[in-house]
């Protein structure tokens, strides 16, 4: 959720549109920023806020290209604004605790994004490093000579094209796993590790509660830099995670860490998050997010299947049992909107019902649930493909991919269809607060960086707060129930009806309490018979705690005949 103040139209337009006097005179500036939305966030039942990067950046990659790790991007406000945000967030004392068995972690409230696999090319370190081979900053980055006049290896960047860019001044290449404007830091250098520790200390002293460590398993590279067969440009190794581990960098402070780690397995998860010996408190992994694309080829969409959701979820839930801890999520700033992706977005009734079904499914899984801004009101993918043009996609991943498609004979419609399903722009449209122009995110006439989704008239926070049947209130109930029920926090995960193609069923089991979750993932009626698994069930009947259909109440008979579920029930 960003920014602190939303009056600053476009990252990139490096304009200060106010002066200090104006700020003193007017609450309006701050009033629409994150600090003023803390009560809304708290009302939802959220304990902790992860801010995506808010540091100065040329925004080649929406702030994931940082020029100053200890500053605030002027468009978002000042360090004083950040400090006010910190005070206000922490003053909303929270009663509930998040538990990572058996070690109790107090609720953490502010998590900052620590993006230290790479900096921006505009970072003073890189600006110095690229000047000459003798620069004192040279070994902050990764340099290789070309091979026969070409790039040192065949590695492909996550944002298309080679990961190597020629630097004329030194006649060699620097490594960038992401954009050209995001040179990778050289973690072999003691100086780099010290710099990062200083950044951690800077924010820890300012009472940050935790860090989300961006692509932290990429910081060490494959030994010897061999050419890749598919795309093994990085390796997952203890080497990657230890330099920033709790024991070292974070141990002085009561700091929570979540490592963003693409391509990891549950055994990595167990190893790195194990309560006895954890390197990070949680991993944020992506296996489920690849089920509707060809792995590694994000822009080759394919339909998802429930059996893959089951297989991957079972694997992670069971794999981290006994000491590890999962992060569970449906969306983040890199993913399309979940109701567009896995639900029924076109019919307003089914959109509401399916968003609730998805929420129920993941919030009761074992682990910590993450809710991405706007997910709680059912925000959808970036508008309808028929009224969008290719040049309205602005995220670097989409823009660079589009450039690779020039001579590939795809029609404009095909390209738009793919972006509609897969683009990161989908989740980055402004938060829809109300039905005023620009959805209350910025002033009328201002131009937000990504256009507001035109459905803001219908889907917005104000409307959600007015409607007792809204997705927002359902999320609120789910988050409350999760904290009230020991089984939802600690229960062992037991999948049921594993072969069923439409319905996802699972139990969370403690000796004294069992929770059954039954979700129909599809927009038609379906039924499931749990008799064959009777020995796993807690009993013949159970008390209904919550449904996304209003007309059900009372008890559910488990072992009579089939249990019928309506569309997305
Ligand atoms: O993303 C890392 C990354 O590659 C993800 O895009 C992930 O692999 C993919 O979503 C799996 O489907 C992080 C940030 O979240 C992203 O916004 C940045 O662009 C990237 O690092 C570079 O900092």
Are 199 and 332 found together in one domain? yes
Distance of CA 316 to the CA centre of its chain: 17
Q: How far apart are CA 214 and CA 262, in angstroms?
A: 10
Residue 200 in contact with ligand 1 by CB distance below 6 A: no
344: phi then psi, degrees, rounded to nearest 5: -115, 100
- ipTM attached to this prediction: 0.96
The pLDDT value given to residue 243: 57
Residue 218 alpha carbon to ligand 1 centre in Å: 11
Residue 183 in contact with ligand 1 by CB distance below 6 A: no
Which residue is closest in CA terms to ligand 1's atom 17? 334
Are 294 and 324 found together in one domain? yes
Residue 397 alpha carbon to ligand 1 centre in Å: 10
* Count of structural domains within the chain: 3
Which residue is closest in CA terms to ligand 1's atom 15? 334
The span from the first CA to the last CA of the chain, in angstroms, equals 30
Which residue is closest in CA terms to ligand 1's atom 10? 334
Residue 184 in contact with ligand 1 by CB distance below 6 A: no
The pLDDT value given to residue 28: 36
Mean pLDDT of residues grouped by 10 in the chain (569 residues)? 30 28 37 77 89 93 96 89 87 48 53 95 98 98 96 90 96 96 95 93 90 90 78 51 63 84 90 80 92 86 97 98 93 96 95 98 96 97 75 93 94 92 94 94 85 93 97 97 93 96 97 95 96 83 92 78 93
Pocket probe for ligand 1: among 117, 334, 395, the residue whose CB has the most ligand atoms within 8 Å is 334
Question: Domain containing 560 — which CATH number?
Answer: 2.60.40
Are 271 and 249 found together in one domain? yes
Are 306 and 158 found together in one domain? no
Q: How far apart are CA 455 and CA 378, in angstroms?
A: 11
* Strand 297-301, strand 555-557: pairing: unpaired
For the question of residue 376 being annotated catalytic, the response is no
Residue 61 in contact with ligand 1 by CB distance below 6 A: yes
Residue 16, domain member (yes or no): no
Contacts of 208 (CB under 8 A, 6+ apart): 86, 110, 111, 112, 255
For the question of residue 214 being annotated catalytic, the response is yes
Are 137 and 281 found together in one domain? no
Are 553 and 524 found together in one domain? yes
The pLDDT value given to residue 521: 98
The pLDDT value given to residue 245: 59
Residue 55, domain member (yes or no): yes
Cα dihedral sign, 240-244-152-66:
positive
Do 403 and 362 contact (CB within 8 A), yes or no? no
Are 228 and 265 found together in one domain? yes
Residue 118 alpha carbon to ligand 1 centre in Å: 12
Which residue is closest in CA terms to ligand 1's atom 11? 286
Question: Domain containing 279 — which CATH number?
Answer: 3.20.20.80
Are 326 and 395 found together in one domain? yes
Are 276 and 348 found together in one domain? yes
Residue 405, domain member (yes or no): yes
Cα dihedral sign, 70-375-371-303:
negative
Residue 520 alpha carbon to ligand 1 centre in Å: 30
Q: For residue 162, what are the β-bridge partners?
A: 156
Do 72 and 55 contact (CB within 8 A), yes or no? yes
Residue 55 alpha carbon to ligand 1 centre in Å: 17
Are 502 and 538 found together in one domain? yes
Question: What would the DSSP string read from start to end of 522-543?
Answer: SSS-EEE--GGGGGGSS-SEEE
Residue 253 in contact with ligand 1 by CB distance below 6 A: no
The pLDDT value given to residue 489: 92
Question: Domain containing 152 — which CATH number?
Answer: 3.90.400.10
> What is the extent of the structural domain holding 60?
42-74+96-119+190-374+388-423
Are 282 and 141 found together in one domain? no
Residue 256 in contact with ligand 1 by CB distance below 6 A: no
Q: How far apart are CA 290 and CA 408, in angstroms?
A: 24
Q: Which of 214, 287, 292, 345 is catalytic?
A: 214
Which atom from ligand 1 is nearest to the alpha carbon of 115?
23
Are 137 and 113 found together in one domain? no
Do 518 and 553 contact (CB within 8 A), yes or no? no
């Amino acid at each position: 959720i960003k920014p602190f103040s939303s009056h600053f139209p476009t990252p990139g337009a490096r304009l200060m549109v106010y002066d200090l006097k104006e700020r003193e005179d007017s609450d309006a500036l701050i009033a629409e920023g994150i600090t003023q939305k803390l009560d809304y966030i708290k009302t939802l039942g959220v304990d902790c806020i992860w801010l995506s990067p808010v540091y100065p950046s040329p925004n080649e990659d929406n702030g994931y290209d940082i020029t100053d790790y200890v500053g605030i991007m002027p468009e978002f406000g000042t360090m004083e604004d950040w400090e006010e945000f910190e005070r206000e967030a922490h003053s909303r004392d929270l009663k509930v605790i998040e538990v990572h068995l058996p070690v109790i972690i107090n609720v953490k409230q502010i998590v900052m994004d620590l993006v230290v696999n790479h900096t921006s090319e505009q970072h003073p370190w890189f600006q110095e490093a690229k000047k000459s081979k003798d620069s004192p900053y040279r070994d902050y980055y990764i340099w290789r000579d070309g091979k026969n006049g070409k790039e040192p290896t065949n590695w492909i960047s996550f944002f298309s094209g080679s990961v190597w860019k020629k630097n004329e001044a030194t006649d060699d290449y620097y490594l960038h796993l992401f954009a050209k404007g995001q040179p990778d830091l050289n973690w072999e250098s003691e100086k780099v590790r010290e710099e990062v520790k200083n950044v951690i200390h800077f924010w820890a002293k300012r009472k940050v509660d935790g860090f989300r460590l961006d692509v932290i398993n990429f910081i060490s590279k494959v030994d010897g830099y061999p050419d890749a067969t598919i795309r093994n440009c990085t390796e997952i190794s203890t080497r990657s995670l230890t330099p920033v581990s709790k024991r070292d960098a974070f141990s002085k402070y009561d700091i929570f860490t979540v490592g963003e780690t693409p391509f990891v397995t549950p055994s990595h998860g167990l190893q790195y998050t194990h309560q006895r010996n954890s390197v990070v408190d949680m991993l944020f992994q992506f296996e489920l997010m690849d089920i509707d694309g060809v792995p590694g080829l994000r822009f080759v969409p394919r339909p998802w299947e429930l059996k893959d959701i089951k297989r991957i979820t079972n694997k992670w839930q069971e794999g981290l049992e006994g000491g590890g801890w999962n992060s569970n999520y449906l969306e983040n700033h890199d993913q399309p909107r979940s109701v567009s992706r896995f639900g029924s977005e076109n019919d307003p009734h089914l959109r509401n019902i399916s968003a609730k079904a998805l929420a129920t499914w993941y919030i009761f899984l074992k682990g910590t649930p993450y809710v991405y801004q706007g997910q709680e009101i059912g925000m959808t993918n970036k508008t309808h493909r028929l009224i969008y043009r290719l040049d309205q996609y602005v995220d670097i991943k989409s823009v660079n991919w589009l450039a690779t498609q020039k001579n590939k004979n795809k029609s404009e419609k095909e390209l738009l269809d793919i972006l509609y399903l897969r683009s990161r722009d989908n989740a980055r449209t402004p938060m829809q607060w109300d039905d005023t122009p620009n959805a209350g995110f910025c002033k009328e006439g201002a131009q937000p960086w990504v256009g507001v989704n035109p459905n803001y008239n219908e889907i917005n926070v104000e409307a959600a707060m007015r409607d007792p049947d809204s997705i927002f209130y359902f999320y609120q109930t789910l988050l409350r129930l999760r904290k009230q029920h020991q089984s939802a926090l600690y229960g062992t995960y037991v999948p049921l009806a594993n072969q069923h193609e439409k319905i996802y069923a699972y139990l969370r089991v403690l000796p004294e309490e069992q929770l059954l979750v039954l979700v129909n993932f599809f927009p038609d009626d379906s039924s499931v018979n749990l008799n064959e698994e009777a020995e796993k069930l807690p009993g013949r009947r159970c008390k209904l705690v919550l449904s996304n259909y209003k007309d059900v109440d009372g008890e559910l008979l488990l072992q009579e005949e089939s249990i019928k579920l309506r569309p997305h029930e």
